[in-house]
């Protein structure tokens, strides 16, 4: 009995120590503006701030609660910080991201000492030949990339029963609100890291739900922009039609600041051809406290009626927005076109094979594997890769033809018609809407390697398949677990969505820092 109580005491002591570490963090919940004010007042240097976050990663991610959200720390982070300090000392600032610590998802190329793995053991030693366009823009803006985040391997496109947040490289990322629960989505590490204050800002990527779902589960803000607003060159792909990177932050304002630094055309990504015309370099003018006034908003009813606690929070959010001047219209269906989700899945299989083979070719002679076929063969011989999860999606993709296939072209046409002209555009035009809202998802489920993910609610598909923007903002808590609300709309409508999301956030303020419970 004495031994039993000693064990209980030790466990409780470790947990309370972890929580104490989280609560006593000196830069807890700091925003971009607050950090810049600290630099201007000379209370901190960039080196000091970066070093604080590196120690935080070591304490929270690798020791303490062992969040397991960071694959690799940038060995050059302090050197980069020193250079940025020299610029500040000389009276030069690159802008609002100068000296801001950022963690990026590890399917985004960096030409430095950090490999780009997509979570796969096949790429553990793969150094990209150049920075991705996203990383290039972050460096130009003065951000310090301090680490790369764990992710669902191959951005969750490898197994039919995988666990979100698991990769062969690092294992399972945990949810910082409850370590036994799942962080959701392939940008799980980015969402968990920014929520746990391991960085100021993070970058995720989404094909369908991989930014907004971890934003929901980890209690943060996620912007999944219009496909083509931000370049995807140098990002390990799933889908040319649906992939996009986007900000993951603790506030809508920080997400808007970060978004403006990433937009622009890129000759290596034809989807960005309209980015300069339709995108902005500064979205902060749309951070309006009265941004909901006279806005017409559609209520997407599809995700409702599944979890009473989520429905209650959602309708409370609607009542709050009504008080802020919003007008609501109920929407039963998002499309009249049949099988748009099935068409999207077929498109992903075709485009994954094509895009991944092109990515491997971009690595040149140093590519650890040269094709999807070689990757499948590697996984079969590896001691970890297929021990827990299969690779069914990789095998289904490998069996597909090239992108000239009539089956691919037919699926692509049906997918886009069903979600764009026959979907979101049609619904919004019919009701003269500024945006559509829905619960982003349900509370995080207990991580289960045997049965895989347990999605109870999801609303990401209409915007994701259309390639349209979507913003998830914290909506409240079910027990100790956060849930979010999504705001989505037509292509290139990030400004109006930011207006609405910011106005809602400023009145609701539902974000609370996690406590690493177990």
Please check the confidence at residue 17 and state whether its pLDDT lies above 60.
no
Please check the confidence at residue 16 and state whether its pLDDT lies above 90.
no
Domain contains 12: no
Torsion of CA 300, 302, 306, 308, to 10 degrees: 20
Q: What percent of the chain has pLDDT over 70?
A: 96
Q: Are 137 and 154 in contact (CB under 8 A)?
A: no
Q: How many degrees, rounded to 5, is the angle at CA 172 between CA 171 and CA 175? A: 155
Domain contains 357: yes
* Mean pLDDT (whole number) for 466-492: 98
Q: How many CB atoms lie within 10 A of CB 377?
A: 13
- Distance CA(158)–CA(153), nearest Å, equals 7
- Is 282 exposed, middle or buried (CB count within 10 Å of its CB: 0-12, 13-18, 19+)? middle
Domain contains 21: no
**Which of 266, 286, 217, 220 shows the shortest CA–CA distance to 247?**
220
Q: Which domain holds residue 182?
A: 29-508
Question: Are β-strands 171-172 and 166-167 bridged in parallel, bridged antiparallel, or unpaired?
Answer: antiparallel
Q: What phi and psi, each to the nearest 5 degrees, are found at residue 179?
A: -65, -15
Q: Give pLDDT, residue 24.
A: 75
Overall residue count recorded for the chain in this entry: 518
- Is 383 exposed, middle or buried (CB count within 10 Å of its CB: 0-12, 13-18, 19+)? exposed
Between 84 and 15, name the one with better pLDDT. Answer: 84
**Which of 390, 391, 401 shows the shortest CA–CA distance to 354?**
401
Please check the confidence at residue 153 and state whether its pLDDT lies above 80.
yes
> In whole angstroms, what separates CA 54 from the centre of its chain?
21
SS3 221: strand
Please check the confidence at residue 246 and state whether its pLDDT lies above 60.
yes
Q: Give pLDDT, residue 88.
A: 98
Please check the confidence at residue 94 and state whether its pLDDT lies above 60.
yes
Please check the confidence at residue 13 and state whether its pLDDT lies above 70.
no
Q: What phi and psi, each to the nearest 5 degrees, are found at residue 339?
A: 60, 35
Question: Are β-strands 327-331 and 296-300 bridged in parallel, bridged antiparallel, or unpaired?
Answer: parallel
* Mean pLDDT (whole number) for 122-150: 98
Q: Which residues are known to be catalytic? A: 105, 186, 210
pLDDT tens-digit series, residues 398-432: 999 999 999 999 999 999 999 999 999 999 999 99
Q: Give pLDDT, residue 518.
A: 83
* Mean pLDDT (whole number) for 66-94: 98
Q: Give pLDDT, residue 22.
A: 52
Q: How many CB atoms lie within 10 A of CB 166?
A: 26
* Mean pLDDT (whole number) for 42-67: 97
pLDDT tens-digit series, residues 155-181: 999 998 899 999 999 999 999 999 999
Domain contains 1: no
Domain contains 20: no
Please check the confidence at residue 19 and state whether its pLDDT lies above 60.
no
Least confident window among 23-32, 124-133, 323-332 = 23-32
Q: Strand pairing partners for 485?
A: 439, 473
- Distance CA(16)–CA(8), nearest Å, equals 12
56-62 long-range contacts (CB < 8 A, ≥24 apart) are 56/25, 56/197, 56/198, 57/146, 57/147, 57/198, 59/21, 60/18, 60/21, 60/22, 60/196, 60/198, 60/516, 61/193, 61/196, 61/198
Please check the confidence at residue 44 and state whether its pLDDT lies above 80.
yes
pLDDT tens-digit series, residues 262-312: 999 999 999 999 999 999 999 999 999 999 999 999 999 999 999 999 999
Domain contains 351: yes
- Distance CA(419)–CA(433), nearest Å, equals 16
pLDDT tens-digit series, residues 319-378: 999 999 999 999 999 998 999 999 999 999 999 999 999 999 999 999 999 999 999 999
Q: How many CB atoms lie within 10 A of CB 179?
A: 18
- Is 27 exposed, middle or buried (CB count within 10 Å of its CB: 0-12, 13-18, 19+)? middle
Please check the confidence at residue 499 and state whether its pLDDT lies above 50.
yes
Rg (the chain; Cα; Å) = 22
Q: Give pLDDT, residue 367.
A: 96
Mean pLDDT of the chain: 95
Domain contains 292: yes
What order do you get walking across the sheet with 221-224 strand by strand? 70-73, 144-149, 101-105, 201-206, 244-249, 221-224, 470-478, 481-488, 435-439, 296-300, 327-331
360 Cβ neighbours under 8 A, 6+ residues apart: 367, 369, 370, 371, 372, 374
- Distance CA(339)–CA(326), nearest Å, equals 33
Q: State both tokens at 53.
A: 């976050």
Question: Are β-strands 221-224 and 470-478 bridged in parallel, bridged antiparallel, or unpaired?
Answer: antiparallel
Domain contains 515: no
| Domain count across the chain | 1
CATH assignment at residue 490: 3.90.1300.10
Q: Give pLDDT, residue 5.
A: 31
CA distances from 364 to 209, 236, 278, 351, 359 (A): 31, 15, 34, 21, 9
């Amino acid at each position: 009995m004495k031994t039993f109580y000693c064990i209980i005491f030790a466990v409780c002591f470790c947990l309370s120590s972890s929580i104490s570490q989280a609560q006593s963090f000196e830069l807890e919940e700091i925003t971009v503006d607050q950090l810049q004010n600290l630099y201007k007042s000379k209370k901190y240097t960039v080196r000091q701030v970066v070093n604080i976050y590196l120690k935080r990663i070591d304490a929270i991610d690798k020791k303490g609660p062992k969040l397991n959200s960071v694959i690799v720390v940038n060995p050059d982070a302090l050197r980069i910080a020193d250079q940025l300090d020299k610029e500040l000392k000389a009276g030069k600032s690159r802008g609002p991201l100068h000296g801001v610590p950022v963690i990026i998802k590890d399917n985004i190329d960096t030409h430095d000492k950090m490999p780009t793995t997509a979570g796969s053991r096949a790429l553990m030693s793969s150094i990209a030949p150049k920075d991705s366009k996203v990383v290039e823009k972050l460096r130009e803006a003065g951000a310090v990339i301090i680490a790369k985040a764990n992710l669902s391997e191959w951005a969750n496109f490898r197994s039919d029963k995988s666990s979100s947040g698991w990769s062969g490289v690092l294992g399972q990322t945990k949810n910082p609100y409850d370590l036994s629960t799942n962080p959701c989505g392939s940008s799980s590490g980015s969402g968990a890291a920014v929520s746990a204050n391991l960085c100021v800002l993070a970058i995720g990527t989404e094909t369908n739900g991989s930014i907004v779902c971890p934003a929901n589960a980890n209690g943060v803000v996620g912007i999944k922009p219009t496909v083509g607003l931000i370049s995807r060159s140098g990002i390990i792909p799933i889908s040319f039609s649906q992939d996009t990177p986007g900000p993951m932050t603790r506030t809508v304002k920080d997400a808007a600041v970060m978004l403006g630094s990433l937009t622009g055309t890129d000759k290596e990504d034809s989807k960005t051809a309209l980015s300069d015309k339709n995108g902005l370099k500064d979205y902060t003018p749309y951070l309006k406290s009265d941004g909901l006034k006279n806005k017409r908003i559609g209520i997407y009813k599809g995700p409702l009626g599944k979890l009473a606690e989520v429905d209650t929070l959602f309708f409370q959010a609607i009542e709050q927005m009504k008080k802020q001047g919003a007008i609501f219209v109920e929407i039963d269906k998002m499309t009249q076109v049949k099988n748009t989700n099935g068409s999207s899945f077929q498109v992903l299989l075709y485009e994954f094979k094509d895009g991944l083979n092109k990515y491997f070719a971009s690595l040149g002679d140093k590519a650890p594997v040269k094709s999807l076929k070689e990757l499948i063969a590697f996984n079969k011989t590896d001691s970890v890769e297929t021990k827990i999860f299969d690779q069914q999606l990789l095998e289904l993709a490998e069996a597909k033809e090239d992108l000239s296939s009539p089956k691919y072209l037919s699926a692509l046409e049906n997918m886009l018609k069903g979600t764009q002209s026959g979907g979101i555009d049609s619904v919004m035009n019919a009701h003269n809407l500024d945006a559509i809202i829905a619960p982003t998802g349900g509370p995080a489920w207990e991580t289960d390697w045997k049965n895989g993910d347990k999605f109870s609610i999801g609303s990401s598909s209409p915007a994701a398949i259309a390639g349209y923007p979507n913003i998830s903002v914290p909506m409240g808590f079910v027990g100790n677990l956060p849930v979010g609300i999504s705001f989505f709309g037509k292509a290139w409508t990030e400004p109006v969505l930011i207006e609405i999301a910011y106005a809602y956030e400023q009145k609701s303020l539902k974000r609370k820092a996690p406590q690493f419970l177990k």
